[in-house]
């Protein structure tokens, strides 16, 4: 009987220790983890907002999402075969859930405390960007939506705690700018008038001035930790290579020159904002060089091609028709840098995310994302 009592006692002690370890482990994870991830931008990080719009830019059709485990391989509105860079970074920084799309019905209550995704396929810095898609959410409207979330967090936590949570525990990541070139200034035929009336310099300055105002507006809503991606080598995507009938190792010069011109001014602007907005940290993600490294040295990273889309149709690089049920699809998805004519594969996103999380000043500066979280 005594032996039985001793056994029960030992089991209770063990159970008590396990519960305490679990409790303190969770508290520590919460303390060290990211509070909320607020994601803004375009189709590179859209997690499903365009599902709720009447738009020509949608990814909620198979085989998109075929490798997205959380949905069982069903499309969610992500423009890739698996997770976006935003998803991967959130996972690594300790978020228990993906940031919920703002327009989704479940973007309510305590779920928004993990973060909200406002990104929209076709969206850009300028309001005119993406008109070809009929509907999309540009940056100005995305900030209007965050303003709604901001007030909801006040109600959930109380004004004082909410402000501290937003300022100290939350990261604001913004991936935008590509569409301002691809689906605005560089649009075949439709943009000729704009290019006659506005020089590349004037167009880039317009983008920078709008973006400065948008980032300052976020700061006024208590955002303090920012990560801003520059524009990638848009002249090297399968769509651009296909429509311009380029060889495998060629890229469209004008598109890349515009991206580099914008990127140089963006970097200067982020230095200026770090100097002028007290308490803010603007981290610069050098997406251009990161993606260009994958494109030029794809074999070093285990890829077999950086020019052909895994999912798409048309031309040498399957770069004209977007990914959908009638598209041809490659079998070795993890060996393609590009999932479709425009967007990286999950395999490429994994490499990019790793550099943003733990990389050095070549790709992420002045801090990497783990350091930004722990500020």
- Helix 287-296 vs helix 253-276: angle between axes, to the nearest 10 degrees? 150
Cross-strand partners of 39: 117, 173
Strands (E), the chain: 36-41, 100-101, 115-117, 170-175, 225-229, 281-285, 311-312, 328-329, 364-365
Which has the closest alpha carbon to 369: 85, 151, 149, 10?
85
User: Does residue 210 carry a catalytic annotation?
Assistant: no
Whole-angstrom Cα Rg for the chain: 22
Closest CA to 38 of 221, 230, 232: 221
Q: Are the C-beta atoms of residues 27 and 11 closer than 8 Å to each other?
A: no
CA distance 352 to 165: 27
Asked whether the CA dihedral 298, 301, 303, 306 is positive or negative, the reply is negative
Cβ atoms within 10 Å, residue 93: 19
CA-based nearest residue to 133, from 200, 59, 195, 64? 59
Given the residues 42, 180, 222, 340, the one annotated as active site:
340
Terminal Cα-to-Cα distance of the chain (whole angstroms): 56
Annotated catalytic residue 199: no
Given the residues 37, 43, 120, 170, select the one marked as catalytic.
43
- What is the spatial distance between Cα 218 and Cα 350, in angstroms, rounded to a whole number? 28
DSSP summary character for residue 181: I
Which residue out of 210, 284, 336, 343 is catalytically annotated? 343
Is 343 labeled as catalytic in the residue annotation? yes
Contact 58, 121 (CB under 8 A): yes
Pairing outcome for strands 115-117 and 36-41:
parallel
115 contacts 99 by C-beta, under 8 angstroms = yes
Cis amide leading into 366 (omega within 30): yes
Which residues participate in catalysis according to the annotation? 43, 340, 343
């Amino acid at each position: 009987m005594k032996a039985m009592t001793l056994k029960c006692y030992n089991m209770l002690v063990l159970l008590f220790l396990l519960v305490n370890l679990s409790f303190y482990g969770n508290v520590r994870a919460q303390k060290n983890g990211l509070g909320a991830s607020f994601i803004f931008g375009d189709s590179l990080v859209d997690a499903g907002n365009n599902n709720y719009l009447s738009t020509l830019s949608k990814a909620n059709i198979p085989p998109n999402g075929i490798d997205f485990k959380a949905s069982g391989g069903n499309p969610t509105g992500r423009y890739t075969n698996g997770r976006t860079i935003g998803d991967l970074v959130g996972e690594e920084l300790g978020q228990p859930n993906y940031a919920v799309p703002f327009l989704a019905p479940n973007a309510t209550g305590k779920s928004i405390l993990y973060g909200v995704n406002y990104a929209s396929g076709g969206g850009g810095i300028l309001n005119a960007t993406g008109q070809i898609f009929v509907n999309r959410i540009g940056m100005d409207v995305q900030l209007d939506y965050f303003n709604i979330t901001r007030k909801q967090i006040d109600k959930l936590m109380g004004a004082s705690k909410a402000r501290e949570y937003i300022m100290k525990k939350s990261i604001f990541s913004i991936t935008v700018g590509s569409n301002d070139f691809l689906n605005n200034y560089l649009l075949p035929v439709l943009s000729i008038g704009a290019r006659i009336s506005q020089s590349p310099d004037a167009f880039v300055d317009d983008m920078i001035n709008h973006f400065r105002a948008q980032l300052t507006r976020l700061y006024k809503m208590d955002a303090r930790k920012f990560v801003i991606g520059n524009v990638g080598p848009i002249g090297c995507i399968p769509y651009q290579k296909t429509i311009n009938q380029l060889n495998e190792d060629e890229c469209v010069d004008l598109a890349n020159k515009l991206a580099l011109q914008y990127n140089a001014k963006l970097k200067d602007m982020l230095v200026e904002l770090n100097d002028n907005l007290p308490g803010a940290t603007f981290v610069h993600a050098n997406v251009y060089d990161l993606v260009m490294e994958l494109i030029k040295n794809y074999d070093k990273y285990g890829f077999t091609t950086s020019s052909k889309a895994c999912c798409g149709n048309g031309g040498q690089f399957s770069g004209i028709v977007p990914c959908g049920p009638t598209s041809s699809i490659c079998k070795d998805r993890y060996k393609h840098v590009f999932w479709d004519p425009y967007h990286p594969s999950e395999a490429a996103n994994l490499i990019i995310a790793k550099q943003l999380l733990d990389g050095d000043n070549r790709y992420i500066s002045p801090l990497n994302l783990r350091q930004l979280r722990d500020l």
